[in-house]
Structures are given as C-alpha cells and as structure tokens.
C-alpha cells in the first residue's frame, strides 16, 4: 500500500478508481474520484482520494494539492470512451483492485462529505456503513457495470440497491447508466434523495414523493467527459453548505456541470468552475472549515 502524500484532514473524500482513459497519443486521467475531487477543490474544499492502481501510475493530471491514498494493484483501470451521436460506448482494458473499509485512513473516515464513486464495480458496498457521521453521496454507475470477454461494458441492475440506497444522503445517477428506465422509480422509492441526470437536458430530483425537473444551461461542449461527476460533487457540496436545500443544490450543480464541459482536461475543467464562482460571487470561493 502506498500514498502520494500524508493524510491531512479533508472536507471531501472520494473513493474509487482513478483510471486512465485512452486518448489520442496516450492516456489522460479519468474516473469519478479524480473528477469529483477536482471540482470539490475548485469549490473551496480540502479533498482527498482513496484509490487502487498499479505502483507506477502517477496520475499527474490530479492536483498535487489533493492527497492520494493508493492501494497497490497489479494493474490500473483503463477505459476507452467512444462517443457517437451524443451516446457513449465504453471498453475496459484492465481493472485495479477492490476497495474495502480497511483501505480508508482513520482520519478520512470522519470527512464531512464522502463520495463513493465506483467505475468498475471496485468498491465493497458495505463500505458505506463506515461513514455514519458523514454526508455521503453515491454514484452507483460502477456497481451497475459489467463487461464481456472483449471488454465491452454493459449495464446491469444494481444488486445491492436495497441495502445501500437508504444509507446515502444523496444518490446521483445518469439515465444512460440504467439498463431499464423503469428502475429510476424503483431506486427513487429506496433512496432518501435521488437525482437523475440527463446530459444537456439537466436533471430530475426525487425527494419526499416529489419530482422536480431542472434544465441545464445551454453551452458549447468541448468535452463531455466527467460532467456527471462534476454535477455530483457540486450537488453534494452545495447540499452540505445549505443544510439540505435539495432544489437549490440541483440548480447550482447544473451550472457547474455545464461549465465543466466547455473545457478539456481536469485542470482546465476545474479552472472553468473557478471562473464560474468568480462570476457568480465576485469573491473567492470559501472552503468548509
């Protein structure tokens, strides 16, 4: 087990594989853990990551100010994302190790905000019970992914939904992650708060037997990768900051996700979100202390 840095206190902890995405000329850093912490830090939070990867993986695109606790594995998770007509197809080339509660540093288990973001079914669902004093957001897309012998990813029904959904403060899921659209209502019935994102169309928020739609701002898209993760991080942070305003958090998260897709790469996306905050507040973003 290795870490890139010691374990300082964090406001926002992300758990899940940092991956490498196939790109022209090589690889770029990806994965929910990388994107959500980049956004959380842009929003003024102290962020940290628990992940698994091969020892040689450096993830240079992740800010050096975001400490990484890495569990060594024989391989790093590698995805290939293919976009066609606004739809994404995925190929998985390799997968790192499973993450369990024992892999989380004790100090980080007390983080105020936690994002469980599996991308390749790598997080033990029972881990959510470790964070009983945290506001936990889950992005279950990785628990709903399987792949065939050629690495082609497909969606399945989430086996642990009934056990995990009631324990999360908020669940953020994309319509493209559902193998059957009717599952949205099933999951909403189990979740305390469910947000379904739908790309440029915005999102639906299911809360207390009420459903509200929120439109996303229209923008020029440079790179849609990580938009759902940007939304999830922004939603959790704003939900925490507003003491549970589920509607205002949706409006804010839509604006953040929309701004993120106007740039390419982790650093550029984070900078774009910083610009958005400056435009909206005309003062530096405040952290959570």
Select from 18, 21, 175 the least CA-distant residue to 92. Answer: 21
Q: Which two tokens stand for residue 40?
A: 């959380």
Residue spans per domain, the chain = 2-281
Question: What letter would DSSP give residue 118?
Answer: -
pLDDT of residue 4: 56
Asked if residue 35 has pLDDT above 80, the reply is yes
Alpha-helical (H) ranges within 153-192 are: 161-164, 183-190
pLDDT of residue 284: 42
The torsion angles phi and psi of 105, rounded to 5 degrees, stand at: -55, 140
CA 109 – CA 10 distance, rounded (Å): 10
Select from 145, 89, 146, 119 the least CA-distant residue to 15. Answer: 119
CA 155 – CA 91 distance, rounded (Å): 13
Concatenate the DSSP letters of all residues of 221-244 into one string: -S--TTHHHHHHHHHHHHHHHTTS
Cα 73 from chain centroid (whole Å): 21
Q: Which CATH fold topology does 2-281 show?
A: 3.40.1190
Edge-to-edge strand order for the sheet containing 78-84? 26-30, 19-23, 78-84, 87-94
The torsion angles phi and psi of 213, rounded to 5 degrees, stand at: -100, 140
Q: Do residues 195 and 203 touch, judged by C-beta distance below 8 A?
A: yes
Asked if residue 200 has pLDDT above 70, the reply is yes
What average pLDDT does this structure show over 4-22?
90
254-280 pLDDT tens trace: 999 999 999 998 999 999 999 999 888
Select from 64, 51, 50, 66 the least CA-distant residue to 106. Answer: 50
């Amino acid at each position: 087990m290795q870490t890139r840095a010691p374990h300082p206190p964090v406001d926002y902890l992300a758990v899940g594989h940092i991956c490498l995405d196939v790109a022209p000329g090589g690889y770029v850093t990806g994965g929910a853990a990388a994107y959500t912490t980049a956004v959380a830090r842009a929003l003024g939070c102290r962020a940290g990551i628990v992940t698994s990867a091969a020892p040689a993986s450096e993830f240079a695109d992740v800010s050096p100010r975001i400490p990484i606790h890495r569990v060594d594995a024989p391989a790093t998770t590698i995805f290939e994302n293919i976009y066609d007509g606004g739809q994404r197809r995925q190929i998985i080339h390799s997968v790192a190790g499973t993450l369990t509660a024992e892999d989380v540093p004790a100090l980080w288990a007390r983080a105020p905000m936690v994002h469980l973001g599996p991308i390749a079914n790598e997080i033990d669902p029972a881990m959510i019970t470790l964070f009983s004093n945290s506001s936990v957001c889950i992005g279950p897309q990785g628990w709903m992914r399987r792949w065939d012998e050629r690495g082609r990813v497909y969606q399945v029904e989430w086996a642990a939904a009934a056990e995990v959904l009631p324990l999360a403060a908020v669940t953020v899921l994309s319509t493209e992650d559902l193998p059957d659209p009717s599952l949205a209502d099933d999951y909403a019935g189990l979740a305390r708060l469910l947000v379904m994102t739908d790309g440029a169309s915005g999102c639906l928020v299911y809360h207390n037997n009420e459903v509200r739609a929120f439109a996303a701002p229209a923008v020029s898209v440079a790179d849609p990768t990580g938009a759902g993760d940007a939304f999830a991080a922004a939603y959790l942070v704003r939900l925490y900051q507003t003491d549970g305003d589920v509607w205002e958090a949706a409006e804010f998260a839509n604006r953040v996700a929309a701004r993120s897709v106007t740039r390419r790469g982790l650093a550029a996306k984070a900078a774009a979100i910083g610009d958005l905050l400056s435009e909206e507040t005309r003062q530096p973003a405040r952290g959570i202390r």
